[in-house]
Amino acid sequence: MTQKITVTIPVGPELHHRRWLDECLDSITGQTVPPDEVLLIDDMAGLPSYRKRGYRVWRSPWLLGTAHAFNFGVALAAHELVIMLGS
């Protein structure tokens, strides 16, 4: 039995955090074995449209920073195996 995988990606408020996000998500979901869950940590980036595209989005109520956003991503992941990917 294979383990289910969550990929968590914190996305900050600056443009460079979002510039390649679409290409990144296309690459992740296009893998031979795609993850069972993609969790975007919206660290004041404004990502509401990604929820409509089937990604799980958690919006931070305050600016966390990368390390804390990764911690929230691990805590909120639906699966035990978590891959952390920086935006």
Distance from C-alpha of 11 to C-alpha of 43, rounded to nearest angstrom: 6
In terms of residues, how long is the chain? Answer: 87
Look at the chain and report how many structural domains it folds into: 1
53: domain CATH number is 3.90.550.10
| Amino acid at position 3, single letter | Q
Q: Which domain holds residue 36?
A: 5-84
Angle (nearest 5°) at CA 20 between 80 and 14: 95
Contact 55, 29 (CB under 8 A): no
Q: What is the pLDDT of residues 51-68, one digit of tens each?
A: 888 899 999 999 999 999
The pLDDT confidence band at residue 1, using thresholds 50, 70 and 90, is low
| pLDDT at residue 49, as a whole number | 84
Q: How does residue 16 score in pLDDT terms, banded at 50, 70 and 90?
A: confident
